[in-house]
Chain A
Amino acid sequence: MVSLDLVKSLYAKFIDWDEEMYDHDTNTPSHAANTAISEDLGQVEYILTDKTGTLTENRMIFRRCCISGIFYGNESGDALKVDVELLNAVAKNVPDVLRFLTIMTICNTVTPIRSNSGAILYKAQSQDEDALVNAAARLHMVLISKNGNTLEVNFNGLVIQYEILDILEFTSDRKRMSVVVRDCQTEKILLLSKGADEVIFPCAYSGQQIRTFVDAVEQYAQLGLRTLCLGWRELKDDEYEEWSHMFKEASTALFDREWKLAEVCQRLEHDLEILGVTAIEDRLQDGVPETIETLRKAGINFWMLTGDKQNTAIQIALLCNFISSEPKGQLLFINGKTEDEVVRSLERVLLTMRITSSEPKDLAFVVDGWALEVILKQYREAFTELAILSRTAICCRVTPSQKAQLVELLKSCDYRTLAIGDGGNDVRMIQQADIGVGISGREGLQAARAADYSIGKFRFLKRLILVHGRYSYNRTAFLSQYSFYKSLVICFIQILFSLFSGVSGSSLFNSVSLMAYNVFYTSIPVLTSVLDKDLTEKTVMQHPQILFYCQAGRLLNPSTFAGWFGRSLYHALVVFFISVHAYAGEKCEMEELSMVALSGCIWLQAFVVTLEMNSFTILQHLAIWGNFVAFYVINCIVSTIPSAGMYTIMFRLGKQPSYWITMVLIVAVGMGPVLAIKYFRYTYRSSAINILQQAERSRGIIFSMGTLESQLKSVEKDVASLSITQPKNRNPVYEPLLSDSPTATRRSIGSSTFDFFQPAQSRLSTSYSRNCKNN
């Protein structure tokens, strides 16, 4: 099994060396930290992916905003570049707009750094804050410096100074941050807050109309933008003094400091005046939709685990083919305010899943962190069933430990899981999964370090699984079975010989030949199977469904193993009985017969390996036939040593025509049936792999690539989903759920389905119908 280890480390090297998985943007090659699990990549059934930084670039760009009810950037999709209105508003010093910009500039933990050339660079821990500060700077509100507690902002040439009094830090529980500053000109104390909509809106002072902001958030989320709400309030001196005292106490508390701080912060963050909503775009990485589509075709189920908002997550999921839009796909929501509601919605979803699992529909369930916690605690079994039924899931607002729990849940159902992520919050999930893939992205290398594989971009995952994983699996399957086979051949020959030697246990082969056979003659040719490609990479990419052969373990299971076992028995019989009969009577000298049988095995092995290889490079020919020649050279050399047992044997045999005739006979009898069966299967019982191989070989003669592709596409149009993992008992009559009806009908049906499952989410249906239109 040394050769297996060697080969596995080669697979890992192939990943490291892969030019096509080299990220030119950041100059990082892909890297396989774990060399032992390359073939598991080919058997992945579930991929659990993080969203931010994994599917998206994690490069935030400020796109739109809504300030006191006025939408900016809606037309162009970019609030900064073209929207004259916003620039005008800034120029006219509209107070709300200015305050909005001030919050964007100040309410953060960004540090400005003045470079030698005078330009100001910002160092931010959060990509969102970085985006906001940069956007404000382009709207002439420039954060110049931050020295201790004083902070300078340049607005249209006017330098404004602020004194930072307190920072109410962001935590994932609070989902907001605030700063308390003193405006050095007016001496007023201001509380500036920004945070997620669901935590900021409740803090609005009573009487403020937040309707437009809620709509704005909704609208932005549907576009897949990340939203932040900004709010402010003026503090009275005595109110601040009082609070500041409590805050200091809380921040020096020894126990439960975090909880106490949150408590204190909450006391201040109320009666805010909501100023507006910012929308930041986190662009999808290149090739993400294609990658996900291809991998889903390959029968891999995707789960998205994100800390983000539900709507944003759904939008991103739609954008990257994660889920299909209506009518092909359908989203089922599991949520609720109380545990009872959660359970009821879980049961409802499960019921729907059971009913529709026989239909070619793309179902996905959506669950949020809170509901998940309830479910994982108490209703694990029902959720497990749901996980098995559903091909897709979106889990939003989940914590790192919940991510890991979900991985564990899938693993407990005997699925092979792959977790992919980029940030520190994905590390637990990556470590928990069978295969962890880290994206060496902008959130540092934490995930990449913890992972088995690190890649530069999400789209490399396609190649990692379909090309590297699949080839590794195929090669390992062949290699391990071949190793058994070749050893068994010798074993069986020895057993047969022992029947002819009074079951005394004498060996037909001398020990040196036996060792050389195992570690040399039969190992070197088969090592080149690491270069073997049953299908070209291009074909695999075009027909990702072929991965099913790996997932289902079609190439390495008891029946294929039995095949190899049978073949070894047959070949042992062939070699032994032909040698014994051809070298009977006056020729049955021990050393000669032993060499005849050994050479018979070597001849057979050369042809077996050649037959099992699908593609040939010079190296493979060199290894197979070079090894063959080496066998004779080595034995001839040994035959010249007088003290060796087989002195002169090889020369003696080489001079006999009957030796060569015997060898050819062994090969013909040994390989004939194998070849005939293989040919028959290849031609008349072709597996999908065979068909694609045939297509590859005949391509250019019969099928051109174009027709092949179009044929496939036309077929795929009719299919809603792949029936690989879905139960086969489909309705005999295929009824399209929705015919090509006008959008209006679609909308009504779409919303009605959603109303049924989730009244509160009916708004979403509009987004779906829009998506339908796009399609």
Chain B
Amino acid sequence: MIITSFALVGLVFVPIGLASLSASEQVVEIVDRYDIDCIPEQFQNERLAYIQNSETNKTCTRNLIVPRKMNSPVYVYYQLDNFYQNHRRYVKSRSDKQLRSKAYEQVTDNCKPEDKANGLAIVPCGLIAWSLFNDTYKFSLDSKVLEVNKKNIAWKSDQDHKFGSDVYPKNFQSGALIGGAKLNASIPLSEQEDLIVWMRTAALPTFRKLYGKIEVDLELNDKITVVIQNNYNTYGFGGKKKLVLSTTTWIGGKNDFLGVAYLTVGGMCLFLAICFVLLYVFKPRTLGDPSYLSWNRNAAGHPS
């Protein structure tokens, strides 16, 4: 029974593993780390000063080669490393009530230290909103602009129920310390999709967030030029910034883990099944023989 179930699990797991692995292989992914390269030569030793200085030119141009044909939609992500969006103080520093409805504008209890500026409540308050990612990317292919669709990148449910359409940014980034992006005060929060995406905190210190979608196919060896506004300060805490272009399949983005794990587990199960069969063949054992019972063994005169 056990042997067959091990064999069965093995036999089922190997194909699933192969399928997952091939799905993951089909995903075309371009990852480009730009946080260091986008700092001009003369500022390499004082990156922090460079990024904090509002006078410096933060524009940076990157060239990406498409390794395989990428079918639309091509998702554009930014990836941050070593960014603890799951830190307890950070996670709690938000006011869901305030985000949802204008009526709760003053509810900023959890938002300290970004709860009030100049005595007035900040909307949206809290560290999460305050640290909104503010790098921007402009793509062009053969000097033709590649449109990045930034609509529908946030969860529909968040737009409908978590972020109010009557809540407008107020007092945002008006304090002494400016964390990240500024928001257009004339657009309601439910339409601020970058913010909504950012406010879905990541559980791990390395995470990707959706920036937009390129809705044309990219051909093999296409040379894509990206103009980056390198504004976001990850230099203070040694974080990395990466730009990611990726397609998806049924399994999601590029992730070999499930496929490899399934193949390993399937293989192990088959191996165990074979071991047990061999054990059974070479060391057969009558099950349930009462003479094996310890008290009967002693009785028969064999010292145990």
Residues of chain A having any CB pair with chain B under 8 Å: 497, 500-502, 504-506, 508, 543, 545, 578, 580-594, 642-643, 647-648, 656-658, 661-662, 665, 668-669, 672, 675-676, 679-680, 683-684, 686, 688, 691-699, 702-703, 708, 711-712, 715-716, 718-719, 722-724, 728, 730, 732, 734
Contact indicator A545/B293 (Cβ below 8 Å): yes
Give bound CA distance, A501 to B208, whole Å.
16
CB contacts (< 8 Å) of A712 on chain B: these are: 290, 296
Given contacts A691-B289, A718-B299, A728-B303, 8 further A-B contacts (CB under 8 A): A500-B204, A504-B89, A585-B79, A586-B253, A589-B200, A592-B203, A688-B293, A732-B303
Given contacts A590-B91, A684-B283, contact A691 B205 (CB under 8 A): no
User: B277: CB under 8 A from chain A?
Assistant: no
Given contacts A589-B203, A590-B201, A692-B288, contact A582 B257 (CB under 8 A): yes
Give bound CA distance, A172 to B42, whole Å.
111
Contact indicator B262/A691 (Cβ below 8 Å): no
CB < 8 Å neighbour of B86 from A590, A657, A695:
A590
The closest CB in chain B to the CB of A719 belongs to: B299
Q: How distant is B276 from chain A, measured CB to nearest CB, in Å?
A: 7
A interface footprint on B254-293 (CB within 8 Å = 1, 0 otherwise): 0101100110010011001000100100010111111111
Give bound CA distance, A357 to B8, whole Å.
54
Contact indicator B204/A588 (Cβ below 8 Å): yes
Give bound CA distance, A662 to B251, whole Å.
11
CB contacts (< 8 Å) of B5 on chain A: these are: 675
CB < 8 Å neighbour of B287 from A506, A647, A676, A698:
A698
Q: How distant is A118 from chain B, measured CB to nearest CB, in Å?
A: 61
Given contacts A543-B293, A588-B202, contact A657 B253 (CB under 8 A): no
Contact indicator A504/B87 (Cβ below 8 Å): yes
Contact indicator A584/B204 (Cβ below 8 Å): yes
Contact indicator A580/B204 (Cβ below 8 Å): yes
In the complex, 20 of the A-B residue pairs with CB atoms within 8 angstroms, ordered by the A residue number, are: A506-B87, A580-B203, A580-B204, A588-B203, A588-B204, A589-B200, A648-B157, A661-B258, A668-B13, A672-B268, A675-B5, A676-B2, A679-B2, A680-B276, A691-B290, A691-B293, A695-B287, A698-B287, A708-B290, A716-B299
Give bound CA distance, A675 to B10, whole Å.
14
Give bound CA distance, A657 to B258, whole Å.
11
The closest CB in chain B to the CB of A545 belongs to: B295
The closest CB in chain A to the CB of B205 belongs to: A500
CB contacts (< 8 Å) of B299 on chain A: these are: 715-716, 718-719, 723
CB < 8 Å neighbour of B87 from A501, A584, A694:
A501
Contact indicator B295/A722 (Cβ below 8 Å): yes
CB contacts (< 8 Å) of B201 on chain A: these are: 589-590
CB contacts (< 8 Å) of A692 on chain B: these are: 288, 290, 293
Given contacts A658-B252, A665-B261, A715-B300, contact A588 B293 (CB under 8 A): no
Q: How distant is A277 from chain B, measured CB to nearest CB, in Å?
A: 45
Contact indicator B290/A665 (Cβ below 8 Å): no
User: B141: CB under 8 A from chain A?
Assistant: no
Contact indicator B2/A658 (Cβ below 8 Å): no
Q: How distant is B80 from chain A, measured CB to nearest CB, in Å?
A: 11
Interface residue ranges of B94-139 to A (CB < 8 Å): none
Q: How distant is B195 from chain A, measured CB to nearest CB, in Å?
A: 15
The closest CB in chain A to the CB of B287 belongs to: A694
CB contacts (< 8 Å) of A675 on chain B: these are: 2, 5-6
Give bound CA distance, A698 to B300, whole Å.
23
Contact indicator A668/B9 (Cβ below 8 Å): yes
Give bound CA distance, A592 to B202, whole Å.
10
CB contacts (< 8 Å) of B250 on chain A: these are: 657
CB contacts (< 8 Å) of B303 on chain A: these are: 728, 730, 732
User: B294: CB under 8 A from chain A?
Assistant: yes
CB contacts (< 8 Å) of B88 on chain A: these are: 501, 504-506
Q: How distant is B162 from chain A, measured CB to nearest CB, in Å?
A: 8
Contact indicator B204/A662 (Cβ below 8 Å): no
Q: How distant is B5 from chain A, measured CB to nearest CB, in Å?
A: 8
The closest CB in chain B to the CB of A668 belongs to: B265
Q: How distant is A538 from chain B, measured CB to nearest CB, in Å?
A: 14
CB contacts (< 8 Å) of A585 on chain B: these are: 77, 79, 206-208, 253, 255
CB contacts (< 8 Å) of B91 on chain A: these are: 506, 590
CB < 8 Å neighbour of B288 from A582, A703, A719:
A703
Contact indicator A642/B6 (Cβ below 8 Å): no
A interface footprint on B195-216 (CB within 8 Å = 1, 0 otherwise): 0000011111111111000000
Given contacts A593-B203, A648-B155, A728-B304, contact A691 B288 (CB under 8 A): yes
Contact indicator B279/A684 (Cβ below 8 Å): yes
Give bound CA distance, A694 to B288, whole Å.
4
CB < 8 Å neighbour of B203 from A590, A661, A702:
A590
The closest CB in chain B to the CB of A667 belongs to: B9
CB contacts (< 8 Å) of A715 on chain B: these are: 291, 296, 299-300
User: B16: CB under 8 A from chain A?
Assistant: yes
Between B13, B202, B268, the greatest number of chain A beta carbons within 10 A of the residue's beta carbon is seen for B202
The closest CB in chain B to the CB of A695 belongs to: B288
Contact indicator A676/B272 (Cβ below 8 Å): yes
10 nearest A-B residue pairs (beta carbon): A694-B288, A695-B288, A506-B88, A694-B287, A642-B161, A593-B203, A504-B88, A586-B208, A501-B86, A581-B257
Contact indicator A658/B251 (Cβ below 8 Å): yes
Give bound CA distance, A676 to B262, whole Å.
18
CB contacts (< 8 Å) of B288 on chain A: these are: 691-699, 702-703
CB < 8 Å neighbour of A711 from B209, B261, B290:
B290
Contact indicator B203/A508 (Cβ below 8 Å): yes
A interface footprint on B234-250 (CB within 8 Å = 1, 0 otherwise): 00000000000010001
Between A585, A647, A712, A728, the greatest number of chain B beta carbons within 10 A of the residue's beta carbon is seen for A585
The closest CB in chain A to the CB of B85 belongs to: A590
The closest CB in chain A to the CB of B156 belongs to: A648
User: B20: CB under 8 A from chain A?
Assistant: yes
Q: How distant is B274 from chain A, measured CB to nearest CB, in Å?
A: 12
Give bound CA distance, A715 to B87, whole Å.
68
Contact indicator B200/A584 (Cβ below 8 Å): no
The closest CB in chain B to the CB of A580 belongs to: B204
Contact indicator A590/B200 (Cβ below 8 Å): yes
Give bound CA distance, A497 to B301, whole Å.
56
Q: How distant is A363 from chain B, measured CB to nearest CB, in Å?
A: 18
Contact indicator B269/A668 (Cβ below 8 Å): yes
Given contacts A582-B255, A684-B279, contact A501 B84 (CB under 8 A): yes
Give bound CA distance, A647 to B208, whole Å.
21
User: B298: CB under 8 A from chain A?
Assistant: yes
CB contacts (< 8 Å) of A589 on chain B: these are: 200-203
Contact indicator A669/B265 (Cβ below 8 Å): yes
Q: How distant is A28 from chain B, measured CB to nearest CB, in Å?
A: 35
Q: How distant is A655 from chain B, measured CB to nearest CB, in Å?
A: 11
Given contacts A586-B209, A586-B253, A722-B295, contact A665 B86 (CB under 8 A): no
Contact indicator A723/B207 (Cβ below 8 Å): no
CB contacts (< 8 Å) of B75 on chain A: these are: 586
Contact indicator B258/A582 (Cβ below 8 Å): yes
CB contacts (< 8 Å) of A724 on chain B: these are: 295
Give bound CA distance, A675 to B1, whole Å.
12
Give bound CA distance, A656 to B23, whole Å.
14
Contact indicator B6/A676 (Cβ below 8 Å): yes
Give bound CA distance, A500 to B202, whole Å.
11
Between B79, B279, B295, the greatest number of chain A beta carbons within 10 A of the residue's beta carbon is seen for B295
CB contacts (< 8 Å) of B79 on chain A: these are: 585
Q: How distant is B47 from chain A, measured CB to nearest CB, in Å?
A: 22
Between B6, B208, B257, B285, the greatest number of chain A beta carbons within 10 A of the residue's beta carbon is seen for B257
CB < 8 Å neighbour of A588 from B20, B84, B207:
B207
The closest CB in chain B to the CB of A648 belongs to: B157
Give bound CA distance, A665 to B77, whole Å.
28
Give bound CA distance, A703 to B292, whole Å.
14
Given contacts A502-B84, A585-B79, contact A691 B292 (CB under 8 A): yes
Give bound CA distance, A718 to B295, whole Å.
12
Q: How distant is A544 from chain B, measured CB to nearest CB, in Å?
A: 10
Contact indicator A734/B296 (Cβ below 8 Å): no
Give bound CA distance, A643 to B258, whole Å.
33
CB contacts (< 8 Å) of A581 on chain B: these are: 255, 257, 261
